[in-house]
Amino acid sequence: MAIGNDAWMRPFPYCSVTYLLRVNCLKGNTTESLNFLTNNIKNWNHFVHDLIGIRKRKLMQRLSNVQRDLERVDSVHLSLLEAQIREELEYVLHHEELLWKQKARNYNKITVLKNEEGDWILKDESLQIEAINFFQKLYGEPPECSTALLASSFPKIDPNDKELLRKAFSN
């Protein structure tokens, strides 16, 4: 949210001010940032997907042990524990199913693009180059901006309003 007087609010009634934080990993060029992001995502992906399999095996082993104990002894505690393990196993199996569905989604793949000249791109290598170029243009360095143009675009703040903004405030 920003503060503004009437002179600001008339030309910009629906304005909002947003400050983007600089992140250390985004310093440098785009290629370094993308490589950094790619490596982190690969590590996360490997960690998360391995955990699903490990959790599934451990839960199945625990469930087997509890069921074996229940065959020998009828216990309310063991029955509750079995229900809890089954519920947790259902949750893990659901996530495993989602993972396999995500891996199997070939319908999501981009196979054709139209470039800026209006030509259709079909080759995988060309598609990759076109996508990289698009995102480099989109998220690359911002264009230079003329400060003279910006200074004349906004209304001036009245000196009395400036003084009012400098004053300390209290509840």
> Tens of pLDDT along 3-46?
555 666 566 655 554 444 444 544 567 788 888 888 888 888 77
Q: Kindly write down the DSSP assignment for every residue of the chain, as one continuous string.
A: -----HHHHTT-TT-----PPP-GGGSS-HHHHHHHHHHHHHHHHHHHHHHHHHHHHHHHHHHHHHHHHHHH---HHHHHHHHHHHHHHHHHHHHHHHHHHHHT--TT----EE-TTS-EE-SHHHHHHHHHHHHHHHHSPPPP--HHHHHHHSPPPPHHHHHHHHS----
- Residue 15, domain member (yes or no): no
* Segment 59-87 mean pLDDT: 95
Q: Are 56 and 92 in contact (CB under 8 A)?
A: yes
The predicted pLDDT at position 4 comes to 56
Percent over 90 (pLDDT), the chain: 22
Domain encompassing residue 133: 109-138
Q: Let me know whether 101 and 117 are in one domain.
A: no
Q: Structurally, how many domains does the chain consist of? A: 2
Q: What is the pLDDT of residue 20?
A: 44
In a shared domain, residues 55 and 117: no
pTM score, whole prediction: 0.41
| pLDDT over 80 (residue 141) | no
Residues 48 and 60 reside in one and the same domain: yes
Q: Are residue 97 and residue 125 in the same domain, yes or no?
A: no
Interatomic CA distance for residues 171 and 7, integer angstroms: 26
The pLDDT of residue 47: 74
81-90, 123-132, 156-165: least confidently modelled range: 156-165
Task: Please determine, for residue 136, whether its predicted confidence score (pLDDT) is greater than 80.
Answer: yes
Domain shared by 113 and 100, yes or no:
no
User: Mind listing the pLDDT tens digit for each residue in 88-122?
Assistant: 999 999 988 888 877 776 556 778 888 888 888 88
* 49 — pLDDT class (breaks 50, 70, 90): confident
Asked whether residue 81 falls in the same domain as residue 134, the answer is: no
Q: What mean pLDDT do residues 149-160 have?
A: 75
Mean residue pLDDT across the chain: 79
- What's residue 151's pLDDT? 63
